Amino acid sequence: MLSDEEKREMIEDAKDDRRREHFRAARKVRYESESLDDYILFLNSLQKIFSPFVITHRPTQTRLNKL
């Protein structure tokens, strides 16, 4: 279950026009192959939509991991 803070963040995300367009563009991208190389290409295509992922070598501080 999502915390109140996570729900609030999702609502704020939904109000952002730019983020909404990013999610709409990502919905059009389809992944239909079982090859690892194809899956990596798929992930790269998502990165182009959402902007480069931030790479950090610091440990991620979390209170509760959902995945």
**Whole-structure pTM value:** 0.35
The answer to the question of residue 26 being in a domain is yes
pLDDT score of 32: 67
The answer to the question of residue 66 being in a domain is no
The answer to the question of residue 41 being in a domain is yes
The answer to the question of residue 61 being in a domain is no
Report which DSSP code applies to 63: S
pLDDT score of 58: 80
**Do residues 39 and 33 make contact, with C-beta atoms less than 8 angstroms apart?**
yes
Write the CA distances from 14 to 5, 27, 33, integer angstroms: 14, 15, 30
The answer to the question of residue 19 being in a domain is yes
The answer to the question of residue 44 being in a domain is yes
Mean pLDDT value of segment 52-65: 75
pLDDT tens digits along 11-22: 888 888 888 888
The answer to the question of residue 65 being in a domain is no
pLDDT tens digits along 30-41: 666 678 888 888
Structural domain of residue 30, as residue ranges? 4-50
Return the structure tokens found at 7: 């729900």
Q: How many domains does the chain have?
A: 1
